[in-house]
Structure 1
């Protein structure tokens, strides 16, 4: 029978797992942290400021097909088997214990770190040092594993007695609306589905992105700002500024997807600060954002430039790499809207604005480059030694209009 984690039984479990002893000192605090749709998180504070994070997957019924924690354990084992990866300090594992039967894992808690998303929210600043550290770390992960069969084969491992597909393609659109969805999402969210399904070009762009999906390295697959930790003394450090956590979705995948998911998380900071009113058109709302896009752009540009500087050969594998990153950014925004509707039962006019932005990124990535990065494609790649951009017809530089006259939305 599957153990259900609680504050009453967690100490006994830690003792049985050999992670706690009465001689180590008495427990002085435990705290439930924010839990998501997939897991529950309990922070246990022991003597000598030793803190453990105990996580358990949420399964309303026996579901042996998910095993998301198995991926994190497998990633931990990968770092142990191949020390060259473990030397990338920002991705080093702190996993101490994995229990497949009870869908439970335990890792050290990084008490000196904070979620990057909360840092941005609380301080309203976007230091380039942080963006550079993220870009360099992600490039290091992708570069070190790119086209390495031994890493790919290791990540193909499945739980004993089970089989799983080698690759999962995350480039999926939103499923067609049917009667089953009416009880799962807010009524106002039906407007989103109606508009989404009118955009044939959007569905076509996602289908093309899925077709061109090219797994070639180990990817995090959920690299949002809340899965990046920032050291509390980042201003005094030369390294270890950031750490990537929650590797439950990691797999052999497409590096453009990781970057797109990350950039979408930055874009959401801007879109979440929009001023919405029925009297405002979409373009007006975008310009009235409390956190303007121009404030975030330098960090977005720093991430992509630092990434390419540390992993320039990605441009040999994918000449259109940056355009595909833009498209995956749009895809990640649509996934965010879907999650808000289905799991948080939340939907408002900002999500309709987000859909318009996502559509533009997916269907017109060439024009969106200047809008998102504040620089043209040639300007982004110019610092890369030895790389030559393909000659393109000269076009007038202009910001991308992210709405269309015939589909202009009011109330955004």
Structure 2
């Protein structure tokens, strides 16, 4: 049995597979090199298209591994250099997302992802507010990039916030994701330097008996109530519509705005709470994500339902209540996060939490009103600390033969 076939059937083999892996060691690996190639498993073979109306990585299902990177244009670099960079980045992303080596051959490729398929790789590009100043395109900077207001939970590190350019990389294989990260970093060359980088993860597809909403590091199901592509107003909420009255922003049609927040979870404090108390903080059952008013995860919350004691089943300050569209004038955003763990802090507490990413057609009607409401009395806030923040305009997808951002940079 080849190594790939062994890995693809490990779930069915169960403990036997673990024994084989431990006993076979290097000998088993070496023997597999002469085997004929086997078909990729479904995880490795899944390909996301680079070209399209929207960029990949927005509505793509959650991926197991992620890298978020912000770049600043190098001193002296302007519109010309930015256009060349976006052309290089787009060409690399297109090849990597198709599972192809860079430059048409392994001689020009690091080889990190040799033998792997596309593994649902996505590479998504965005522009920060300062990008427009550096490239002389301030007349094309959309109003949605106005700075986010301050919030009381903010403990922001300026060195890990904002940036001229932002890249989101996601894949269902860690080496495939890292391969794309190295390609993006190398293609930046002398045009841009890394401002900050954050690495995240989610549950691996197929790790649960059935598809389900992901859990965060607090153990809570996270993502219930997200807008769904089948919703009649999904595009209106998530993607920027063409504005025939103002050609300056046409480049953003089909695009979106990404709010990126590094939210540290104070896990030691959270884990001291009994499960029943955790559920009242969130407003949902921990086991299955169902609202405390009853039903299943997808049951609509009954915000007025009280228990036998006359008290609301979903407390006034529960996170789910305060963040619900019903309590925020219909404001909604597509949440698509990664968890992160960066070891231990100097005080011995885990440096872990959520790389929160949300997508919306207008952050002033999506993220901002909800976060303002949470800022005024969310029961979850004492267990969170917002340590970094960024807001980026993400252009629409590139048509065949185009590079991402071309309609802006060649306006």
**Between structures 1 and 2, the one with greater strand share:** 2
Q: State the TM-score bracket (shorter-chain normalisation).
A: under 0.3
Calculate the TM-score normalised by the size of structure 1: 0.24
**Between structures 1 and 2, the one with greater helix share:** 1
Calculate the TM-score normalised by the size of structure 2: 0.24
- Identify which of structures 1 and 2 has the higher relative contact order when contacts are C-alpha pairs closer than 8 Å and 6+ apart: 2
